[in-house]
Structure 1
Amino acid sequence: MTIASRRHDIDALRFLVFSLLIAYHTALVYMDGWNFHIHSSYATDALNMPLIFLNRWRMEIVFLISGVSCAMMTQHTRGAFLWRRVKRLLLPLLFGMAVIIPIQPYCEGVSNGLVEPGFGQFLLHYYGGYAWPARAFAGWQFGFTWNHLWYLVYLLLYTVVLVALQPLLARARPLFTGLRGWRLLVLPALPTLAATVFLKLRYPETHALVKDWYAHAMYCTLFVYGWWLGNDKGLWGELARLRWHALWLGLGAFAVYMFFDQISSENLLTWASFGSWPMRNLYMWLAICTILGWSHALLNRPFAWLPWARQAVFPWYILHQSAIILLAYWLVPLKLGPVLEPLLVLAGTVAICWLGTSLLISKVHWLRPCFGLSARPRQAVAADTALSAH
């Protein structure tokens, strides 16, 4: 994809969706009852509904956008395409796991009282295959963790699946791209509903790759949807046309879903599940249709900030959760208050990502590929830079 043929709405949406992760993961520090690596004493359940509102589609749309971007790149042979993706994704994954991620289990383990303070000693144990105390940190049983970088692992897997099944998926594409009207707003939610019904309780989402069948069924399906959607102008036009319908129907589906959610549990099969699960998946798909339709209508223009955003999005993604957890680890014991503390965590995370990318990552040639950027700063930024490849 050349600069002239860029889809500016996809570039803008990618940056906005990944930026949302910073706010979302910061909020998890203050969400009472949700599983996260570190928690503040100011945790509250007042964030429950806003986080559910985001949580039901945030990663699904990330994988869909990744599929869209892959569709814009597959003019190469399948082998060449796969090799380019492996080179772009594998190095940031390995570098991130070795250098950026370890601060997260350290802070989590010390906060849990199960890891001795001292980051140097922790690293010696971490890299040496030390047997950690039970529940010291997420991934303690394996001795290491990829934490939020699980997305890159899953994206690599789905890219391999896409390359292997591309002829079959290409033949099935008209079943998706031919959808119009209510069929477009409803039918794509049915496969994800089937995944929820048959897999969710038996294989709850773990991000551990192995036996994570419910997560794979959901995210790989949305990844394929994105690949089918790709450059199909008719389907994008239909999404833009239906954006108001998707918005109001999505809000209605969320309201009904929350009604059932209040009297049921996501992890138990009850009579309310027969209302909750269909509404969950319908809301997820309608929310994605709303976002895609409005972004295509409003964001498909060459905003001045887009060249910067295209290069910033991948480094920010890799850095942000380690920054959040480190700042919370430092700030939570200070008891700064329920307003100042989260503001400092959020502002500090943005500052670390901004300064780390602008002053270090973007200027050091050998470091750039470790964060998904081209090796030469002056090299033209095409679709295969950073998360444009995803």
Structure 2
Amino acid sequence: MSATPDTPSAAPDRRHDIDALRALAFLFVILYHVGMYYVADWPWHLKSPHAAEWLQWPMRVLNLWRMDLVFLVSGVSLGFLARNQDSWALIRSRGVRLMLPLAFAMAVIVPYQAYAEGVANGLVAPGFGAFLLRYLSMGHPWPKQAFAGAEFGITWNHLWYLPYLFTYTAIIALTLPLWRSPAGQWMRQRFNGLRGWKLLLLPVLPLLLSTMLLARHFPPTHNLIRDFHLHSIYFTVFVYGYWMGVDTGVWRELERLRRVSLALAVAVIATFVVLRLGAKGPPSGVLMDTLRMLYLWLAVATILGHGHRYLNRPWPWLRWANESVYPWYVLHQTLIIAGAALLAPLALGPVLEPALLVALTIAGCWALTDGLIRRVNWLRPLFGLKPRRTSADPRATSPEGPLPPEPGLRSPSPRA
């Protein structure tokens, strides 16, 4: 019998390209958030006196697909994981991995971001200790616009991805019988059976339709409740990843089309930029929506195709990166803001300062992760890592314990 997208033989032993793409995607998130400190006219928690208008375009080109790639890769992981677990096991395992770090970080990691923003806005008195006591008590209202999320008394800032991902995972988990039904398998097989131009164009249609219907009524908020347009985009690409996860044919086709998708992506974004620069105001309408969504999918398809071609091998750095990416994600924005507050009084200029800020952020993430978080067993779950097995555990493979892979990226046994 030939392999189908739902048979174990259809999946490789391990998808090294997905491991690598996850690490690289979150590295882009770090660089993007450093850029948010320096890009002119875009609101963020702190803004540099060296803000530059020219940064808007590279930031915009990156912003059109960066989080969509992250959610698609997360969907791929779920596609593997869902083969071995039932609905409640999925929700339980994902809840521990996603919501425990979120709660910890909102109480311990994120508050400094709110404090620095409030002080910069002149609406919070200096003194982090007093701020933290009031912040954690959640019993006193903050001045309006003191910091992002002040109206709620507490904020998750850059960690909004975690509750969004848990919500999408729970939706899939609670409806697993539908996804596994004949109708659900038919939809999965039709998507994974797309070839040629159909694979590069047809997945754009749901994204375009939701954008045309929702974008102007529901601007991005990252508050989970009313973010309907972003939900429609992120959940759609999340489902694409869930469908694609264990299929080999669609990945081979993306690899085959990688040069075509790259050329088309460059042409589409160039057209978008020309039209945007030539417009008197922010252009809108079906044409611009079409270009944005077409570029989004072509860029993601290009990255997936090139990643499958060049990254699907056991790189020496993958073991370290796979375990480090989650703590780095949790830590990075607080370290960026702390670094910005440290460097701003030195007036180092628009070249040296951002270079040092990137270096300090990366060094801080590395030092805290490798020097503390990965070594202290009770800290590991608070940053999304599995507890390290002791040397007495017969399953331990090294003094540091085995690599705790992102669940689902290793193919299941034939008994599954």
For Structure 1 versus Structure 2, the TM-score category normalised by the shorter chain is over 0.9
Tell me, yes or no, if structure 1 residue 205 matches structure 2 residue 220.
yes
Distance, in Å, in 2 between the alignment partners of 1:245 and 1:87 is: 41
State the 1:265 CA deviation. 9.1
Picking from 130, 149, 160, the partner of 2:170 is 160
State the 1:100 CA deviation. 0.4
Distance, in Å, in 2 between the alignment partners of 1:250 and 1:167 is: 37
State the secondary structure of the residue aligned to 1:72.
helix
| 1:26 aligned residue | 34
| 1:344 aligned residue | 356
| 1:103 aligned residue | 112
State the 1:330 CA deviation. 2.0
| 1:306 aligned residue | 318
* Aligned-residue identity in percent: 48
State the 1:125 CA deviation. 1.2
Distance, in Å, in 2 between the alignment partners of 1:35 and 1:180 is: 41
State the secondary structure of the residue aligned to 2:150.
coil
My pick for the range that moved more, 49-58 or 377-386, is 377-386
Distance, in Å, in 2 between the alignment partners of 1:156 and 1:373 is: 16
| 2:101 aligned residue | 92
Distance, in Å, in 1 between the alignment partners of 2:387 and 2:408 is: 11
State the 1:322 CA deviation. 0.5
State the secondary structure of the residue aligned to 2:152.
coil
| 2:392 aligned residue | none
Distance, in Å, in 2 between the alignment partners of 1:141 and 1:318 is: 23
State the 1:384 CA deviation. 3.8
Picking from 56, 70, 73, the partner of 1:62 is 70
* 1:138-153 correspondence runs (5 A): 138-153=148-163
Deviations 1:166-188 (A, max 9, x none): 33334121231111100100111
Partner amino acid for 1:103? Y
Distance, in Å, in 2 between the alignment partners of 1:196 and 1:32 is: 26
State the 1:383 CA deviation. 3.4
State the secondary structure of the residue aligned to 1:307.
helix
State the secondary structure of the residue aligned to 2:172.
helix
State the 1:58 CA deviation. 0.2
State the secondary structure of the residue aligned to 2:38.
coil
State the 1:333 CA deviation. 2.9
Tell me, yes or no, if structure 1 residue 230 matches structure 2 residue 239.
no
Under a length normalisation based on structure 2, what TM-score does the superposition of the two structures give? 0.89
Distance, in Å, in 2 between the alignment partners of 1:52 and 1:140 is: 27
Would you say the 8 A contact 1:372–1:386 is kept in 2? no
Distance, in Å, in 2 between the alignment partners of 1:258 and 1:64 is: 25
The structure-2 alpha-carbon separation of the partners of 1:146 and 1:55, relative to structure 1 and needing over 3 Å to count, comes to same
Would you say the 8 A contact 1:204–1:214 is kept in 2? yes
| 1:249 aligned residue | 264
| 2:342 aligned residue | 330
Partner amino acid for 1:142? F
* 1:169-188 correspondence runs (5 A): 169-170=179-180, 171=184, 172-188=187-203
Structure number with larger C-alpha Rg: 2
| 2:405 aligned residue | 383
State the 1:276 CA deviation. 0.8
Partner amino acid for 2:293? N
Distance, in Å, in 2 between the alignment partners of 1:117 and 1:305 is: 42
Tell me, yes or no, if structure 1 residue 51 matches structure 2 residue 73.
no
Partner amino acid for 1:350? I
The structure-2 alpha-carbon separation of the partners of 1:238 and 1:265, relative to structure 1 and needing over 3 Å to count, comes to farther
Q: What is the aligned-residue RMSD (CA, Å)?
A: 1.8
Deviations 1:227-281 (A, max 9, x none): 0010110000000000000000000010111123335599x7x6x5222110000
My pick for the range that moved more, 200-209 or 77-86, is 77-86
Partner amino acid for 1:22? I
Tell me, yes or no, if structure 1 residue 131 matches structure 2 residue 153.
no
Distance, in Å, in 1 between the alignment partners of 2:409 and 2:132 is: 29
State the 1:335 CA deviation. 1.4
Under a length normalisation based on structure 1, what TM-score does the superposition of the two structures give? 0.95
The structure-2 alpha-carbon separation of the partners of 1:29 and 1:386, relative to structure 1 and needing over 3 Å to count, comes to farther
State the secondary structure of the residue aligned to 1:338.
helix
Unaligned runs of 5+ in 2: 1-7, 390-399, 411-416
Tell me, yes or no, if structure 1 residue 221 matches structure 2 residue 231.
no
State the 1:385 CA deviation. 5.9
| 1:321 aligned residue | 333
| 1:112 aligned residue | 121
Would you say the 8 A contact 2:117–2:147 is kept in 1? yes
Would you say the 8 A contact 1:372–1:387 is kept in 2? no
My pick for the range that moved more, 167-176 or 8-17, is 167-176
Deviations 1:16-75 (A, max 9, x none): 000111111001100001121111000011111111110000000000000001111112
State the 1:102 CA deviation. 0.4
Would you say the 8 A contact 2:77–2:407 is kept in 1? no
Partner amino acid for 1:226? G
| 2:3 aligned residue | none
